[in-house]
């Protein structure tokens, strides 16, 4: 019973801890990384609150030290997928019937646990499992995940306050019901916070979920699930289902009870899922909501009036190589005018010579390893091809070494053809294609930037000239869902830059915003008439 119109605490972005040498947070996280690296936990499925061990076990390893096993995970088969859907369906009524503030309280509590006693666990597991440095883990796993939980709670209230007008004698109400079926949350390896957000955003709105985590993010995702349980997430509301993608997808996607898909990952996987839903469309009890945020070929366009070569070089280096380039927003193509290129190149050389890569347990490293052997092979293949091509010059990096971990040196390849594969294809790693254009061909190059790639996720323009800025904003209007002026194209913050792209980059439902929560409700309009009429005729008849 609720007697009050409650407000949630006003959210603010979780402050990012610095991990400076000698700081208490550094000592504490470092100790956690060391102790966690010695453990090999067994990761079960968690269905209806019950831990299930299938015996079909895979090893989870460190990307920066691939012989080092950090967990053994049990994988779901078809029977467990069905069980997880049944559990989500069984929990649906009670969870939906709970007053919204109880659901919001679980997430607000999870945010406080994450920023307090669970911070080291979630950060350390992200570091050793996904090869993120302490700063990358802090920004993603601690701060962004807490922001998702806290801001979503306040957006949910905003959404519930969305009510229609009522004319005299009538009370119109809009009930923001959850969807009429379970939500399948399929999550990527690269952001722990996204993995935490995809099942919890629908759950906040009263839905129950089956969460299929990525194999290469299992350690941090498992601890995130345990943290949600510790925050009071009831059994069955979120069902944690490690498993091979097709094994889970082939059972969960065609199930007639599917209410929606909350996906983040590659464009290819998303298109496959969409097609599967299309193939099964007549069998569903409802039209499944399809939300998918996918790949990118994110650009930095430098205008000849750009403020300074140093600023451009910093944006390129941070934008392309931070997080090992494994951000959907990472800069992976750049357009630089001939007049600025020599200076930009000089600054890039200096910056890249200082960017250290290696084991993330060494807090002075700026870059870790890429996620796995498949990613390593794909990136190495592209770099080797670039080295062999006469019309491409690898100006920085190019070294790839998987003897211990999957290390790819930050690489910049200058292409002569602006439509080269390196300017179109997402490689998802520290590889930047760069085209040097004639200063008097700005407009033409801007058009190329707008049309070369099928993606439209993030992009940035560097310019001082306001006419040039306006022109770029207009020409590139549909080339990016997150557009930056004189900044790198990465680092969107929940509550500040709602995130997502269109075209091949996804449905642009802006994770961590009210727009995303809108997709997880199925509103019902209720009209109540206080004094029903007693005369059947129109007033002007008779």
Ligand X SMILES: NC(=O)c1ccc[n+]([C@@H]2O[C@H](COP(=O)([O-])OP(=O)(O)OC[C@H]3O[C@@H](n4cnc5c(N)ncnc54)[C@H](O)[C@@H]3O)[C@@H](O)[C@H]2O)c1
Q: Select the binding partner of residue 295 from ligand A1AUG, ligand X, none (C-beta < 5 to 8 A, by kind).
A: ligand X
> What is the distance, to the nearest Å, from the Cα of residue 165 to the centroid of all Cα atoms in its chain?
37
Nearer to ligand X, 120 or 140 (CB): 140
Number of residues in contact with ligand A1AUG under rule CB under 6 A: 9
Least spacing, CB of residue 518 vs ligand A1AUG, in Å:
20
Nearer to ligand A1AUG, 81 or 315 (CB): 315
Report the candidate in 373, 291, 367 with the shortest Cα–Cα distance to residue 327. Answer: 367
Which of 200, 214, 224, 329 is the binder for ligand A1AUG (CB under 6 A)?
329
Please, what's the b/e burial string for 408-421 (b: 16 or more CB within 10 A of its CB; e: otherwise)?
A: bbbbbbbbeebebe
The mark string for 301-330 relative to ligand X (x by CB under 6 A, - otherwise) is ---------------------------x--
Nearer to ligand X, 188 or 234 (CB): 188
Nearer to ligand A1AUG, 65 or 329 (CB): 329
Least spacing, CB of residue 296 vs ligand X, in Å:
5
Bridging pattern class, strands 411-415 and 392-396:
antiparallel
185 sits near ligand X (criterion: CB under 6 A): no
192 sits near ligand A1AUG (criterion: CB under 6 A): no
Least spacing, CB of residue 24 vs ligand X, in Å:
32
Q: What is the C-alpha separation between 320 and 327, in angstroms, rounded?
A: 9
426 sits near ligand X (criterion: CB under 6 A): yes
Please, what's the b/e burial string for 45-69 (b: 16 or more CB within 10 A of its CB; e: otherwise)?
A: bbbbeeebebeeebebbbbbbbeee
**Three-state DSSP state, 432:** strand
Q: What is the C-alpha separation between 132 and 124, in angstroms, rounded?
A: 9
Rounded alpha-carbon distances, angstroms, from residue 337 to 19, 179, 306, 309, 343: 38, 50, 10, 11, 11
Residues from 479 through 538 that contact ligand X (CB under 6 A): 499-500, 505-506
Q: For residue 294, what are its two tokens? A: 């996918």
Q: Select the binding partner of residue 245 from ligand X, ligand A1AUG, none (C-beta < 5 to 8 A, by kind).
A: ligand X
208 sits near ligand A1AUG (criterion: CB under 6 A): no
Least spacing, CB of residue 135 vs ligand A1AUG, in Å:
13
Count the neighbouring beta carbons within 10 Å of the beta carbon of residue 7: 9
327 sits near ligand A1AUG (criterion: CB under 6 A): yes
Nearer to ligand X, 272 or 471 (CB): 272
Nearer to ligand X, 304 or 433 (CB): 433
294 sits near ligand X (criterion: CB under 6 A): yes
Q: Interacting stretch for ligand A1AUG, rule CB under 6 A, among 244-252, 366-374, 386-394, 491-499?
A: 491-499
Least spacing, CB of residue 63 vs ligand X, in Å:
13
Q: For residue 289, what are its two tokens? A: 């909501």
Which of 291, 492, 517, 521 is the binder for ligand A1AUG (CB under 6 A)?
492
Q: Interacting stretch for ligand X, rule CB under 6 A, among 13-21, 77-85, 267-275, 410-418?
A: 267-275
- CA diameter of the chain: 93
Contacts of 267 (CB under 8 A, 6+ apart): 294, 295, 426, 455, 504, 505
460 sits near ligand X (criterion: CB under 6 A): no
Nearer to ligand A1AUG, 255 or 426 (CB): 426
**Rounded to 10 degrees, what is the CA torsion of 529, 531, 535, 541?**
-70
Specify the length of the chain in residues. 542
DSSP assignment string, 290-331: EEEE----EEEEE-TT-S-HHHHHHHHHHHHHGGGG-STT-E
265 sits near ligand X (criterion: CB under 6 A): yes
The mark string for 72-111 relative to ligand X (x by CB under 6 A, - otherwise) is ----------------------------------------
Contacts of 316 (CB under 8 A, 6+ apart): 300, 331, 334, 344, 348, 412, 432, 488
328 sits near ligand A1AUG (criterion: CB under 6 A): yes
Q: Select the binding partner of residue 186 from ligand A1AUG, ligand X, none (C-beta < 5 to 8 A, by kind).
A: ligand X
Q: Select the binding partner of residue 506 from ligand A1AUG, ligand X, none (C-beta < 5 to 8 A, by kind).
A: ligand X
120 sits near ligand X (criterion: CB under 6 A): no
Q: For residue 414, what are its two tokens? A: 């200058």
The H-assigned helical ranges of 400-520 are 442-451, 466-475, 514-518
Q: Which residue is nearest to ligand X (CB)?
A: 249
Residue 436 pairs in a beta bridge with: 336
Count the neighbouring beta carbons within 10 Å of the beta carbon of residue 524: 10
Q: What is the C-alpha separation between 278 and 271, in angstroms, rounded?
A: 10
* Residues designated as active site: 293, 328
Residues near ligand X (CB under 6 A) are 186-191, 194, 212, 214, 245-246, 248-249, 264-266, 269, 272-273, 293-296, 328, 426, 428, 457, 499-500, 505-506
Residues near ligand A1AUG (CB under 6 A) are 190-191, 327-329, 490-492, 499
């Amino acid at each position: 019973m609720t007697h009050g119109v409650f407000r949630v605490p006003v959210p603010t972005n979780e402050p990012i801890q610095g991990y400076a040498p000698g700081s208490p947070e550094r000592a504490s996280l470092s100790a956690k990384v060391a102790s966690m690296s010695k453990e090999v936990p067994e990761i079960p499925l968690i269905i209806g609150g019950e831990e299930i061990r299938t015996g079909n076990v895979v090893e989870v390893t460190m990307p920066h030290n691939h012989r080092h096993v950090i967990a053994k995970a049990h994988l779901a088969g078809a029977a467990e997928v069905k069980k997880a859907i049944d559990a989500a369906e069984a929990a649906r009524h009670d969870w939906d019937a709970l007053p919204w503030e109880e659901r919001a309280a679980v997430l607000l509590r999870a945010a406080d646990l994450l920023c307090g006693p669970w911070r080291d666990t979630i950060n350390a597991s992200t570091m050793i499992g996904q090869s993120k440095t302490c700063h990358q883990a802090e920004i993603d796993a601690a701060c962004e995940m807490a922001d998702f939980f806290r801001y979503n709670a306040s957006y949910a209230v905003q959404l519930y306050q969305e009510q229609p007008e009522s004319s005299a004698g009538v009370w119109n109400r809009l009930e923001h019901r959850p969807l009429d079926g379970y939500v399948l949350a399929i999550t990527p390896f690269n952001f722990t916070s996204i993995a935490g957000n995809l099942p919890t955003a629908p759950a906040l709105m009263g839905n129950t979920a089956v969460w299929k985590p990525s194999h290469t993010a299992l350690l941090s995702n498992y601890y995130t699930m345990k943290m949600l349980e510790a925050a009071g997430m009831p059994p069955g509301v979120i069902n944690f289902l490690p498993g091979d993608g097709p094994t889970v997808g082939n059972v969960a996607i065609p199930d007639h009870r599917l209410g929606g898909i909350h996906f983040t990952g590659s464009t290819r996987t998303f298109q496959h899922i969409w097609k599967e839903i299309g193939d099964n469309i007549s069998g569903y009890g409802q039209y499944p909501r399809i939300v998918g945020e996918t790949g990118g070929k994110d650009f930095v366009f430098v205008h000849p009036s750009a403020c300074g070569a140093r600023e451009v070089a910093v944006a390129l280096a941070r934008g392309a190589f931070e997080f090992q380039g494994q951000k959907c927003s990472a800069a992976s193509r750049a357009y630089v005018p001939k007049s600025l290129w020599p200076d930009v190149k000089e600054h890039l050389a200096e910056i890249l010579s200082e960017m250290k890569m290696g084991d993330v347990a060494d807090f002075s490293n700026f870059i870790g390893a890429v996620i796995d052997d498949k990613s390593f092979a794909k990136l190495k293949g592209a770099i080797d091809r670039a080295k062999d091509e006469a019309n491409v010059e690898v100006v920085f990096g190019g070294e790839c070494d998987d003897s211990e971990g999957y290390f790819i040196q930050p690489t910049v390849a200058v292409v002569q053809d602006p439509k080269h594969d390196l300017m179109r294809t997402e490689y998802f790693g520290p590889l930047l294609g760069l085209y040097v254009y004639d200063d008097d061909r700005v407009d033409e190059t801007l058009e190329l930037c707008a049309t070369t790639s099928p993606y439209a996720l993030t992009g940035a323009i560097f310019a001082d000239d306001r006419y040039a800025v306006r022109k770029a904003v207009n020409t590139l209007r549909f080339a990016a869902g997150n557009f930056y002026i004189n900044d790198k194209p990465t680092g969107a913050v929940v509550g500040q830059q709602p995130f997502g792209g269109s075209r091949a980059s996804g449905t642009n439902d802006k994770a961590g915003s009210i727009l995303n929560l809108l997709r997880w409700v199925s509103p019902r309009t209720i009209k109540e008439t206080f004094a029903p009429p007693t005369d059947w005729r129109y007033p002007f008849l008779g």
